[in-house]
Structure 1
């Protein structure tokens, strides 16, 4: 009797547990905007559509020209910044964009942006009405974007366990303890592949060491916010909060990324925005149909080009497009197109495009892109070759990976000339090896054991069900630095060897002295 009752009790407990899990309360936070917001929107919708109660806390300003937000199935809490802060953000971001056209992007160029994030973080942390409301909701888990460290401070203040979902590549690998051997793991902004020569490995090693200095500087930038909003006896550091995440998820797939070591609490879930295409508007279909067998090229260079453009850059691209047989669809803010420049006859300018649907069209021939990870993932998913024009942040590194997979090429924006640009377009379209390589990477991505939305749902529910990700985090998070570097072991071994050498020397000297004494006695 007892033996038959135990399984029924176990089944009942499982049913109750699953019932509770279906109603899990999840908070997502997005204070970055742009592609980061779009990814967090997808995450929120997937979780909401699968039975969870999701609320997104985000800033009302998304910094996406031409994007029109539609209704969402989840609840939202919005913090709208004052006009003066929005203006300061726009001025700083545009200044940062202008600097890109003068010199190459560098890790320290993000410090002014992080300083502004820290300033805004004080405003977010002072929104006691919203924070008190969120705290009273008793969320089971939160999902945050690590690009803005303020997200970690918000969830720590609310006392909610959290998952970090990074929208970019492994540029936060040092912050969360992910092994990054500089011998074959290229550092952020290095522009290297995993097959580095001696000089590149030397440079990569120095960049590896320099990355720690960048992390230290980011800690300093947010130290004032932490001191202001956390009591002295429980003030966290950013490093503590990175390590405290129950799980780290990267928006990365190894159809793009180079192989590298991962820890159990690091997962790669990419392609949430890459889906089977939907039908286009009739107007756009008619425009594409005019291309015949030549097909069309999609150009998406992000808001930076239309917000901060150089006339010579736009002119050279426009001239190159006029000389190719394909139709061109360019996402560009129409109202900001240079007044004295007539668009090429085969060019259609659109404020906003659904990139995924266009990349899935049978007449697509090429994607000309700045190298954002979401766009490249969609290109891989649909097997479309890429011509990269990287501008800033992780874009140069992303395009290097696309070139290494032989599914595209890249050209620096300051080297773009009409003839060179047009020739490279035709090379990528006519040389079928690029298309074949793109299709190969597409097969790799599409043949993963589980679709990305199921991966996301499965891992989030696993963390909730198991009461956290402590079983996934390595013990190294609790070790002092000298133990992680085995300095105590090295010192012990060195001491033992030194002691052994000392004893051997003493014994030899004693034996020599003994032999010398006996020899001297015999002589006497």
Structure 2
């Protein structure tokens, strides 16, 4: 915000629109400073600021950190409701942090709030698909576009093909814990996983830096370590039996696209939230990394590979994803072009974004109804008391 030379350069480019990641509100402040209309593209799972005013009934929409599915029992609904209310406090704290930044870099007559910036986005695009996510209400300017990286598989290298061929009918298992954690620093966990892989009939292709493999640990004979793997192509291979993954959204999306069952080891961030959805769709299981023991781990591998219901469920989700009316790249391009040609997404945003909070919550309507009911009750009580007093007066007159 202080680098005026860069900001001036960007202003001179006269961009039609910006596509920004709203996970960090700093991006929204920059495009607001530049005066460029923008589309918010959220690369992770479905998460949103509460100032966004998206309909989110806690009765069946699990909060991001809850670990619940959309089918919550009574206690889970209670917890989910408190998490929803608690998230408002977090949002207020975020507003306070960025309020100071806004006061520093924006003139007094044009200082937006974070809620203003969320509402100004012409379109919100989420890297999510209903083959993974639970159904929930969405507004017209919120679009799910997922699977940009998933595509039909290409042949793998001859070296990998020869290794896979050695597995026979047992097939192979792909193990990859994402680009951020290609090597696990915990030797105890590596030993347990390596021991479990040695006890299964499948070949194992494991993305792991061989140079960082523990020197005192003998690699299982059916395991091949690679610094990098063609993940999409391996998931589309006919002999793939299982994906062992950290639960990153892109990996899960590619697994769904190719109909591959999943055994997830969530490590941090959105991964625990993601794998809950995979388990709920019955296309896989997950196990916390701190509970992994070789026998338990190998038992879960056998269970998922041998129980064909997991493969059936994975193929069902694959059909849901692959039978969308338009490919995700065309869908993304079409929406961006629509926003540019139509002069913005104002026709998609609900009028509720222009209402004050008390109208949003219908507090004025509730107060009016309460006042009317109170007035009616007051009148009824007055009439009854008047009638009682009148009857009592007549009774006394007759007695006299």
Q: Name the TM-score, length of structure 2 as normaliser.
A: 0.96
Match of 1:161 among 28, 34, 37: 37
Q: 1:217-228, aligned counterparts within 5 Å?
A: 217-228=93-104
Q: State the match for 1:377 in structure 2.
A: 253
The aligned runs of 1:122-133 (5 Å cut-off) are: 125-133=1-9
Equivalent pair of 1:173/1:180 in contact (CA under 8 Å):
no
C-alpha deviations, 1:255-313, integer Å up to 9, x for none?
11111111111111111111111222222222222222111111111255455621111
C-alpha separation in 2, matches of 1:514 and 1:287 = 102
Distance in 2 between the 1:335 and 1:218 partners? Answer: 42
* Alignment partner, residue 263 of structure 2: 387
1:318 has 2:318 as partner: no
- The answer to whether the Cα contact below 8 Å between 1:189 and 1:393 also exists between their aligned partners in 2 is no
CA distance in 1, matches of 2:29, 2:219: 47
- 1:250 equivalent in alignment to 2:126: yes
Aligned to 2:87: 211
- For residues 98 and 64 of structure 2, the distance between their equivalents in structure 1, rounded to whole angstroms, comes to 22
* SS in structure 2 at match of 1:468: coil
* Residues 306 and 337 in structure 1, CA contact (< 8 A), matched pair in contact too: no
User: Partner of 2:23: helix, strand, or coil?
Assistant: coil
Take 2:6 and 2:276, find their aligned partners in 1: how far apart are those partners? 43
- The answer for the alignment partner of 2:334 in structure 1 is 458
- Residue 225 and residue 287 in structure 1: after superposition, are their counterparts in 2 closer, same or farther (change >3 A)? farther
Residue 150 in structure 1 maps to residue 26 in structure 2: yes
| Deviating more after overlay: 459-468 vs 349-358 | 349-358
User: Distance in 2 between the 1:267 and 1:189 partners?
Assistant: 22
> In structure 1, what is the Cα distance between the partners aligned to 2:230 and 2:11?
36
What secondary structure, in the 3-state scheme, does the structure 1 residue paired with 2:52 have?
Answer: coil
Q: 1:377 to 1:277 in 2, by over 3 A?
A: same
Question: Does the C-alpha gap of structure 1 residues 353 and 214 become closer, same or farther in structure 2, counting only changes over 3 Å?
Answer: farther
Structure 1 residues 435-465: Cα deviation after superposition (integer angstroms, max 9, x where no partner): 0110011011111111111111111111111
1:187 to 63, 68, 72: 63
Aligned-pair Cα RMSD in Å: 1.5
Question: CA, structure 1 residues 333+148, in 2 after alignment: closer, same or farther (shift >3 Å)?
Answer: farther
* CA distances 1:484-518 after superposition (whole Å, capped 9, x unpaired): 11111111111111111111111111111112212
Instruction: Give the corresponding residue for 2:377.
Output: 501
Runs (5+) with no aligned partner, structure 2: none
The aligned residue for residue 115 of structure 2 is: 239
Residue 517 (str. 1) matches residue 393 (str. 2): yes
Rounded to whole Å, the distance in 1 between the matches of 2:22 and 2:230 is: 26
For residues 347 and 272 of structure 2, what CA distance do their matches in structure 1 show?
A: 36
Contact 1:326 1:346 in 2 (8 A): yes
Alignment of 1:237-316 (within 5 A): 237-303=113-179, 305-306=181-182, 309-316=185-192
- Which of 492-501 and 331-340 deviates more? 331-340
- 1:478 positional shift: 1.1
Inter-partner Cα distance in structure 2 for 1:513 and 1:154: 72
Give how far 1:173 is off.
Answer: 5.4
For these two proteins, the number of residue pairs brought into alignment is: 400
Change (3 A) 1:352 1:128: farther
Q: Distance in 2 between matches of 1:321 and 1:149?
A: 43
Go from structure 1 to structure 2 and tell me whether the alpha carbon gap of 1:281 and 1:188 turns closer, same or farther (over 3 Å shift): same
